[in-house]
């Protein structure tokens, strides 16, 4: 799967990165707070604008004001975010002007040689836009003045992004390689699994001192399928010093999720419950639109009977409704038991996320849904859905046309979603459901060619 272009919003704490992130996504996803460094999870989203699909990354919360901007950890964050980015939006605060931290960060960004657009936020008042010449001193060219909270200058910003990211870059080109990210808390059994998959002890290597760009992908072939495990370096045994700082491992898992097609979340069968860290990964996978398989590890070591597996799965599904349909496999990395099953599940999830459901099937599904339940009334008036169409592949998105997209009840969205997962066999897939005033119908041929992102000028076949 070709990666979507990635736009990272970078800047020191409190300039308004999360605010812009939310504004661009059109709804509030990140927690915006006056205190620096509060945005923890929700800073990585698939964003659709003008026929392009990109990954939007908010680095807010990674770059903590209390840290020296040149501190090693900070540099690592920036490194990771920047390595992932195709376009960097470097944000300054128009009201405070350029600070020492801005300059330090700007240098780190410039060293990466990425495409950078300078933006000066909090520029809703005309007097805040007067210092535009001053901002040029950063050496990033002229700034685009914007206001994330008031919405000023955003059309201009999108225009710039349109130029930087040609529509065809959002295009979908399947390739043969299936990228997996293997995540889970320390000691869950990740390196044991990777070693099993690769057939050799590649993981337990000591980190080379001073390397920051240590993301390593390893490939293997199983039954004619080509797999790639992303960021095996993240699985290294390391002295738990700075590297385990929460935001660092957070950024790291985000990056390996982004670079994957399917995530395997390892849950240790010998430990109770899912820790917060795993819940965070689940949210990140969902937000990034990636497939998911939950793998219950160390099955050889668990005292169990024929009911244990079902009880364990049921418990997890009850506690975490988002896992209701997620495939679960119990395996042992040590003995290799059911590792093939795990790979089969991964393949099935990838296949499901690339599925073109078929116009006719979608129409039949839509009719079945309406026949089973009408949408609940809103403000005493019926909510009417007129049409439905698959508009994206990987992950699939079903869009419904309605006069009142904001009034469709959440319970009805869930109903449509679980019905579709059942009918089309989409377990483990972050199927998107969207309500739109005007639905542009996509043909199956368009979906096959562009994955739903029909470029402005579609090339002739
Ligand atoms: P981050 O740390 O860079 O992610 O910054 P936040 O998005 O959390 O914003 C920091 C503070 O700046 C919050 O109090 C926001 O309400 C405020 N803020 C963000 N954007 C704007 C803007 O365009 N204009 C004004 N006046 N305030 C803003
Ligand atoms: P990581 O920190 O997630 O990479 O976990 P490791 O792969 O290093 O495993 C942590 C510990 O659990 C080690 O002592 C492993 O030997 C043990 N372990 C991992 N997988 C299995 C398994 O399938 N069965 C058993 N019995 N032990 C395992």
Q: Domain boundaries in the chain? A: 6-164, 178-352, 359-448
Instruction: Please say whether the beta carbons of 389 and 410 come within 8 A.
Output: no
State whether the beta carbon of 270 lies less than 6 angstroms from ligand 2: no
Residue with CA nearest ligand 2 atom 25:
298
Residue with CA nearest ligand 1 atom 9:
16
Closest ligand 1 atom to 11 CA: 3
Q: Do domains 6-164 and 359-448 have the same CATH topology?
A: no
Closest ligand 2 atom to 204 CA: 8
Query: Cα–Cα–Cα angle for 15, 19, 22, nearest 5°?
Result: 150
Q: How far apart are CA 39 and CA 62, in angstroms?
A: 8
In which order are the strands placed within the sheet that holds 432-436?
385-392, 397-402, 432-436
Q: Please, what sign has the CA dihedral across residues 423, 429, 430, 432?
A: negative
How confident is the model at residue 168, as a pLDDT?
A: 52
Dist. CA 41 → ligand 2 center (Å): 27
Dist. CA 189 → ligand 2 center (Å): 4
Instruction: Please say whether the beta carbons of 402 and 386 come within 8 A.
Output: yes
Closest ligand 2 atom to 186 CA: 2
Instruction: Please say whether the beta carbons of 143 and 131 come within 8 A.
Output: no
State whether the beta carbon of 357 lies less than 6 angstroms from ligand 2: no
Residue with CA nearest ligand 2 atom 14:
187
Q: How far apart are CA 345 and CA 212, in angstroms?
A: 33
Q: How far apart are CA 1 and CA 259, in angstroms?
A: 9
Dist. CA 46 → ligand 1 center (Å): 22
Residue with CA nearest ligand 2 atom 28:
298
For ligand 1, pick from 21, 28, 32 the residue to mutate: most ligand atoms within 8 Å of CB: 32
For ligand 1, pick from 9, 12, 16 the residue to mutate: most ligand atoms within 8 Å of CB: 16
How confident is the model at residue 42, as a pLDDT?
A: 40
The CATH classification number of 359-448 equals 3.30.300.20
C-alpha to C-alpha distances, 317 to 274, 294, 314, 356, nearest whole angstrom: 11, 11, 5, 27
Residue 149: burial class (beta carbons within 10 Å; 0-12, 13-18, 19+): middle
Q: How far apart are CA 402 and CA 375, in angstroms?
A: 11
- How many CA atoms lie within 13 Å of 336's alpha carbon, on the beta-carbon side? 7
pLDDT in tens, the chain (461 residues): 456 788 999 988 889 998 999 899 885 454 444 444 433 334 667 788 777 778 888 876 555 555 555 455 556 666 777 887 889 999 999 999 999 889 988 888 888 888 899 999 999 999 998 888 888 888 888 889 999 999 999 988 998 888 888 665 444 444 568 999 999 888 889 888 988 887 654 443 333 333 333 456 777 777 767 888 886 666 655 444 454 455 556 677 888 888 899 999 999 999 887 888 888 889 889 888 899 999 999 999 999 999 999 999 999 999 988 898 899 999 999 998 999 899 999 999 998 998 899 999 999 999 999 999 999 999 999 999 999 999 988 889 999 999 999 999 999 999 999 999 999 999 989 899 999 998 888 888 888 877 765 443 333 32
How is residue 379 written in tokens?
């403000």
> Against a cut of 0.95, is the pTM above it?
no
Dist. CA 298 → ligand 2 center (Å): 7
Residue 221: burial class (beta carbons within 10 Å; 0-12, 13-18, 19+): exposed
Per CATH, which fold does 178-352 belong to?
Rossmann fold (3.40.50)
CATH class of residue range 6-164: alpha beta
Dist. CA 407 → ligand 2 center (Å): 48
Looking at residue 122, the DSSP 8-state letter turns out to be S
Ligand nearest to the CA of residue 16, numbered in listed order: 1
């Amino acid at each position: 799967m070709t990666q979507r272009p990635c736009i990272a919003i970078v800047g020191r704490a409190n300039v308004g990165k999360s605010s812009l992130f939310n504004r661009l996504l059109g709804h509030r996803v990140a927690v915006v707070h006056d205190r620096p460094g509060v945005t923890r999870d929700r800073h990585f989203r698939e964003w659709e604008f003008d026929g392009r699909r990109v990954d939007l990354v908010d680095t807010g919360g990674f770059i903590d004001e209390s840290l020296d901007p040149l501190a090693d950890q900070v540099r690592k964050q920036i490194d990771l975010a920047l390595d992932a980015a195709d376009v960097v939006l470097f944000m300054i605060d128009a009201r405070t002007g350029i600070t020492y931290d801005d300059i330090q960060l700007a240098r780190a960004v410039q060293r990466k040689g990425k495409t950078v657009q300078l933006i000066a936020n909090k520029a809703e008042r005309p007097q805040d836009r007067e210092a535009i010449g001053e901002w040029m001193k950063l050496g990033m060219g002229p700034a685009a003045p914007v206001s994330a909270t008031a919405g000023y200058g955003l059309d201009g910003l999108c225009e710039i992004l349109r130029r930087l990211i040609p529509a065809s870059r959002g295009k979908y080109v399947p390739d043969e390689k299936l990228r997996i990210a293997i995540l889970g808390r320390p000691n869950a059994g990740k390196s044991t699994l990777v070693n099993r998959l690769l057939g050799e002890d590649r993981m337990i290597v000591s980190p080379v001192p001073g390397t920051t760009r240590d993301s390593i992908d390893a490939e293997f072939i199983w039954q004619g399928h080509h797999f790639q495990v992303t960021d095996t370096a993240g699985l290294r045994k390391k002295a738990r010093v700075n590297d385990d700082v929460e935001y660092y491992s957070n950024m790291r898992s985000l990056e390996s999720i982004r670079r994957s097609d399917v995530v395997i979340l390892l849950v240790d069968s010998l430990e109770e419950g899912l820790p917060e860290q795993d819940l965070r990964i689940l949210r990140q996978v969902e937000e990034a639109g990636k497939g998911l398989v939950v793998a219950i590890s160390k099955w050889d070591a668990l005292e169990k009977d024929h009911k244990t597996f079902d009880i364990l799965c049921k418990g997890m599904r009850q506690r975490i409704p988002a896992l209701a349909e997620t495939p679960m496999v119990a395996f042992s990395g040590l003995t290799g038991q059911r590792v093939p099953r795990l790979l089969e599940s991964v393949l099935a999830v990838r296949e499901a996320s690339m599925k073109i459901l078929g116009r006719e099937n979608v129409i039949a599904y839509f009719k079945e849904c309406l026949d089973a339940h009408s949408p609940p009334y809103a403000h005493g008036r019926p909510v009417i859905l007129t049409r439905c169409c698959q508009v994206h592949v990987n992950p699939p998105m079903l869009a419904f046309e309605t006069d009142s997209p904001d009034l469709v009840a959440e319970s009805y969205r869930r109903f449509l979603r679980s019905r579709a997962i059942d009918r089309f066999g989409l377990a483990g897939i972050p199927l998107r459901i969207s309500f739109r005033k005007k639905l542009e119908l996509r043909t199956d041929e368009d979906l096959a060619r562009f994955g739903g992102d029909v470029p402005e000028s579609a090339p002739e076949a």
